[in-house]
Every structure is written in structure tokens, then in C-alpha cells.
Amino acid sequence: MCVLEAAHASDKVGEFTGNGFIFKDTVEVVAVEDPEVEGVTVYISDFKRSLVDKLSKNFFSEPSQASVTCAATGPIRIKDLKRVRGSSGGEVFSESKGLNLFQNKTLRVRRLLDEAHKTLTYIAYSTRLSNSGVTPVRAADAAAVPTGNRGPPSLLVRLASAFLYIVPWIDILTLGREIYHFFPTSLLLYLVPGPLAPLYYSGQFVPLIVFFLLFLAIVKNNKLHHFVRFNCMQGVMLDIVSMLFTLLRAYVPAEVRWSFILDIYDMFSWNICMCTILYCVFFSLAGKYADVPYISESVYLQVDASL
């Protein structure tokens, strides 16, 4: 039996079985928000004994072993740096591991700030209340998340992030022929990346070279601001989507290619891609993360995998 002692609420993420033939032990995973740091979620995997194991020995006792990991689930912001500083850190989570009043064990998760390396470290350990006082039992696990380059984006960072959407913008220009014809004012959207389009298509391998430069020099570069890397990767993903629309267009049957169906397809593809790009550019200039369904989830995974 476990009694939650900490004031910070935890949400159960999942549970799965471990050892045991019929009555199995279980591993429970909970998510805990750090009350002093926004944008960080701590995940704790906790071991639960089976009923048979409890009946055989120490029914009211649970193992104090646990592991911890953490993830940046948004822009990281420390609410009060003074409260987070200090060699002893701050406790984020604690949970009692039994009802034995004389040797009660407690699982704890503590946060430490490494200012030299701009990193938050979360450590899981356990303590036992004995006759001589509180005794540390075991440091179970630790996880860290970098805090550097995740502050509010500056004007230069926002402008650079918005500019990175120029690549998918160039790739959808050819899909807007019918739009430009029926709505001449939309030619303004054609003229924005116009001067760069000839350079982008100046060689057969230039788009491929640009793709690798963006991915290796920006997305995978931890020294750059997270906001720039996120928008660069999102621009690459949108470019892949726009190229898929263009590629699909090239393989339609001749009967469809010379009919009004292809015109509708072009207008639909252009509107979807252009609206998404303008949405991302607007949010980038505003200094906010543009959340595009399905795409942004993959972008976060790619960018945060490089931390």
C-alpha cells in the first residue's frame, strides 16, 4: 500500500506486468509536473509487489526501487531562480512505501540545478525512517534535461525561425497556378520567395543539399536556440508534405491531368500548404511554438532526441 505524501499531484500514465507466473508484479509509470519549472514533466516508474509476494512476507511494505526520466514538454521556464538554486536542490515528489511505522521507507525525487552546464537534474532515491532518524537507502536513478537555449526567443531568433519556412514556400509555388489566375492579389505570395526560387532550383541536387544543411547544421545543432531548431525541423517536414503533393500530381493519369479535377487538386494542395506555412510564420514572429497536428509531434521527437 502506498500513501502519497507530496503536495504535487501525479498522473498515472500506464501500468504493465513484470515478474510472476500467475500473480505478477506490476510496474506503474506516473507523470509529475515540477511546480517550480514550466515545460518539464518527470516520469517515475515504480515497482509494485504482487498479492502472493505480499502474503509471503511484509504485507504492508513495498520496494523502494524506482527509476526516473524527464522530458521537455514545452518551453522551459524557471519561475523563481532563487527557489531552485542551492546545493541541496528541491523535492519534487515523495511517496510512502508501506505502513511500517518503525521502518517506513519513502521514495523521493529531488531536483538539482547545474548552472554551469545549464541543466536540470532529477534524482530518484529512497529514505528509511529508523530509530536513529532518517537514513538514505538508495539513489535509484537520475535524469537530466538541458535548460540552455530554451528561454524566450529574441527578435533575431523569431525572424530566423520565420525565414526557415521559405523552403516549403518555394516548393508549393507551382501548385498555385489556378489560384494566381483567379485571384491576382495572391501573386504577392508568389513574389515573397520569388528571388530565391531560381537559386533553389539552380541545380539538380541543390534541394537535397539544402535539406541536409538544414537538418545537420540547424536541427541537430544543440548550440542554437531550441525555437530555431524546432521551426527548422517543422519547415523540413512541411517541405516533405508539399513535395508529396507535387509528386502525386506527376503520376495522375492523362485523363485527369487535362481535366478540371487536377485544377481542384492544385488549389486544394496550395491552400492547405500555404495556410499551414503562414500559420507557422505568424506564430514564429510572435515567439510562440506553432502546433501543427501530427507534424509537430514528430518535430518535437526529432529535436529533443538531439539534446
Cα–chain-centroid distance for residue 139? Answer: 27
**pLDDT digits over 77-107, tens only?**
888 787 787 777 788 877 776 555 445 677 7
Across the chain, what does the average pLDDT equal?
78
* pTM reported for the whole predicted model: 0.54
Q: Higher confidence at residue 102 or residue 73? A: 73
Q: How far apart are CA 12 and CA 28, in angstroms?
A: 8
The alpha-carbon radius of gyration of the chain (Å, integer) is 27
Task: At 234, list the grid cell.
Answer: 517543422
- pLDDT above 70 for 152: yes
Look at residue 92 in the predicted model and tell me its pLDDT: 82
- What is the percent of the chain where pLDDT is above 70? 76
Closest-CA residue to 45 (of 85, 95, 117): 95
Task: At 153, list the grid cell.
Answer: 526567443
Look at residue 7 in the predicted model and tell me its pLDDT: 38
Look at residue 158 in the predicted model and tell me its pLDDT: 94
Count the residues in the chain.
Answer: 307
Closest-CA residue to 243 (of 298, 196, 173): 173
User: Which H helix or E strand runs over 84?
Assistant: helix 81-84
Q: How far apart are CA 96 and CA 80, in angstroms?
A: 28
Site of grid cell 527509476: 67
Pairing type for strands 104-114 and 119-130 reads: antiparallel
Range in 25-29, 102-106, 214-218, 257-261 the model is least confident about: 102-106
- What is the percent of the chain where pLDDT is above 90? 19
User: Pseudo-torsion of CA 250, 251, 254, 259, nearest 10°?
Assistant: -60
Q: How far apart are CA 303 and CA 148, in angstroms?
A: 14
Q: Higher confidence at residue 241 or residue 23? A: 241
**pLDDT digits over 228-275, tens only?**
999 999 999 999 998 888 888 888 787 777 778 888 888 999 999 999
Look at residue 259 in the predicted model and tell me its pLDDT: 79
With bands split at pLDDT 50, 70 and 90, how would you rate the model's confidence at 283? very high
| Residue-range domain boundaries for the chain | 3-146, 155-304
Range in 35-39, 48-52, 94-98, 273-277 the model is least confident about: 48-52
Q: Which residues contact 22 (CB under 8 A, 6 or more apart)?
A: 52
